[in-house]
Amino acid sequence: MELAEITKLAGRHRKRKRVGRGPGSGTGKTCGRGHKGAGSRAGSKRNRVTEGGQMPIFRRLPKRGFSNAQFATHYYIVNIQDIEQRFETGAHVTPAALVDAGLVRNKRLAVKVLGNGDITKKMTVEAAKFSKQAVEKIQAVGGEARVIASTGG
């Protein structure tokens, strides 16, 4: 037997550890919790940030620079080959229509159309952004690529 032959289900669920079942089980008496202290009691949680008395890493390292990540615009990426498969000739493709077709999860995030694949059907496609290749391919079959304002993201 090889790793490739094991099904996806094999090993997915680990067996529950049965604690307090005698000394032969390896988890009897104190049930693997040791003796006394907060860790032995119910409801205790270990704080992963604390490092004992040592100065925590986030306080040892200096705060430097500026990250623009919180201001970035995120797009749902849709290829024209996917639009070709899901829509008929003459369709009006909007972000809401893309949600209904299952290509986009929610219509609040901006959509960008990329030119991966071929398109043969004439249709009007509305999105926040298009790649040059996507616009060329849509216009080549007589369709229209309209840039609309994104609602969020």
pLDDT tens string 13-22: 888 999 999 9
Does some domain include residue 118? yes
Measured CA to CA, the distance from residue 93 to residue 82 in angstroms comes to 12
> Is 43 inside any structural domain?
no
Tokens of 17: 């550890």
Q: Among residues of the chain, what percentage have pLDDT more than 90?
A: 68
Mean pLDDT of the region 55-60: 91
62-77 residue pLDDT tens: 999 999 998 988 999 9
132 domain-assigned:
yes
Number of domains present in the structure of the chain: 1
Helix, strand, coil: what percent of the chain each, to 5? Answer: 25, 15, 60
Q: Which helix (H) or strand (E) holds 92?
A: strand 92-93
Name the pLDDT band for 145 (thresholds 50, 70, 90).
very high
| Domain contains 36 | no
Confirm whether 49 is domain-assigned: no
- Note the pTM of the prediction, 2 decimals: 0.58
Q: Is residue 105 in a domain?
A: yes
The CATH number assigned to the domain holding 75 equals 3.100.10.10
Q: Mean pLDDT throughout 17-38?
A: 92
Structural domain contains residue 6 = no
Question: Cα(122)–Cα(143) distance, rounded to whole angstroms?
Answer: 5
Name 128's Cβ contacts closer than 8 Å, sequence gap at least 6.
75, 110, 111, 112, 147, 148, 149, 150
Q: Are 111 and 78 in contact (CB under 8 A)?
A: yes
Band the pLDDT of 153: cuts 50, 70, 90.
Answer: low
User: What range does the domain containing 123 cover?
Assistant: 71-147
Q: Tell me, yes or no, whether 9 lies in a domain.
A: no
